[in-house]
Amino acid sequence: MQNAIDSAQIEDALLAVLLNDTVLQSICPDGVWWDVAGEAGGKPARRYVVVALLTHADEPVFGGRGAEDYTFLVKAVMLNASSVDSRAAAQRFDELLDDEVLTLPDYVFGAMFREQRIRYVETDAENPAIRWLHRGGHYRVQVGIPT
Partner 1 sequence: MAILTGRYGEVLYDPAATTPVAIISLNAWKASFKTAKEDVTCFGDTNKVYVPGMKDVSGTVAGFWNSATGASKILFDAADATSPGLLKLVPNGSTGEQAHFWSGLAYLDADIDCTLAAPKVSGEFMAAGPWTMAP
**By CB under 8 A, residue 66 contacts partner 1:** yes
β-bridge partners, 137: 74, 117
Q: How far is CA 119 from CA 29, 45, 137, 147, in A?
A: 20, 19, 8, 40
**By CB under 8 A, residue 147 contacts partner 1:** yes
- Tell me how far apart the alpha carbons of residues 115 and 48 are, in angstroms, rounded to a whole number: 21
Binding mask 67-96 for partner 1 (x = CB under 8 A): x-x---------------------------
Q: Which stretch binds partner 1 (CB under 8 A): 10-18, 37-45, 59-67, 90-98?
A: 59-67
**Percent of the chain as helix, strand, coil, to the nearest 5:** 20, 45, 30
- Which one of residues 60, 95, 103, 122 is an interface residue with partner 1 (CB under 8 A)? 60
Which residues of the shown chain bind partner 1 in the complex (CB under 8 A)?
A: 59-63, 66-67, 69, 110, 140, 142, 144, 147
